[in-house]
Amino acid sequence: MAAVKMLPPSITVWWVDDGDQTAECYVGQYGNGFEDISCPTSAEINAGLNISCAMTTDFTLQWTERDTDDTRGLCDDAAVANPTTKNYESTLNFFLDRNPNKEEESIYNEVMQLFKKPLRSGYLVQRIARHPSREPEAQEGDWVTVFKFYSGDPNILNDATAPIQMEVVFYAQGASSDGLVQVDICPQCGS
């Protein structure tokens, strides 16, 4: 059977609160974090908010180049680059609802409420290989990456040729999954 390339839309993104918010109204509103960031469960992810359909396709959620140490040993006869600290980043752009005060909830208004104030602590979870609206729930065996962040200040983007958007830059908080990991499957504990 020939290999087939994965094509969009096949990325889903969730926000999961870390459960340790300082503002009382945020505690556990969208989940309570992860017991093991490299072994996320579908229940932990699905307790969060699927923000995919509010996002533009132009976003950043990824690891960047690791920090390295170039200390050579006595027997090294060439330069070395020993990987040390992982680095990651995220900037997400969201559509805004035409009426941000309307009674009916929309995903656009829900995301605006979620990130209207900076420094919300939580996780961005990125899943590959499933359609974000046809299969909105995380399932056992899904491949995901998980990153811990503080949300930044919401910036409004005004472009006469596109809908008004809200851009949020996220600040890495020193915890991410060990590469691509599978939901509900923990190799280290044999499940």
Residue with tokens 């680059």: 81
pLDDT of residue 186: 85
What's the pLDDT tens digit per position in 51-108? 999 999 999 999 999 999 999 999 999 999 999 999 999 999 999 999 998 767 899 9
Residue 56 Rama label (left phi>0; alpha psi -120 to 50; beta):
beta
- H-run or E-run covering 108: helix 107-115
User: Secondary structure of 90-124 in the HEC alphabet?
Assistant: EEEEEECCCCCCCCCCCHHHHHHHHHCCCCCEEEE
Q: Where are the alpha helices (DSSP H) in 11-55?
A: 42-46
Cα–Cα distance between 170 and 173 in angstroms, integer?
Answer: 9
* HSE-up (13 A, CA, CB side) for residue 83: 5
pLDDT greater than 50 at residue 20? yes
Q: Which of 146, 147, 150 is nearest to 115 (CA)?
A: 150
Residues sharing a CB contact under 8 Å with residue 167, sequence separation 6 or more, in sequence order:
91, 92, 93, 94, 154, 155, 156, 157
Mean pLDDT of the chain, nearest integer:
92
pTM passes above 0.75: yes
22: left (phi over 0), alpha (psi -120 to 50) or beta: alpha
Domain edges within the chain? 11-66+80-189
Encoded amino acid at 158, one letter: N
Amino acid (one-letter) located at 152? G
- Write out the two tokens for 65: 């180049």
Alpha-carbon span 73 to 16, nearest angstrom: 43
Chain position carrying tokens 């961005």: 124
Dump pLDDT digits (tens) for 64-77.
999 999 999 999 99
Token pair for 162: 């596109």
pLDDT at 140 over 90: yes
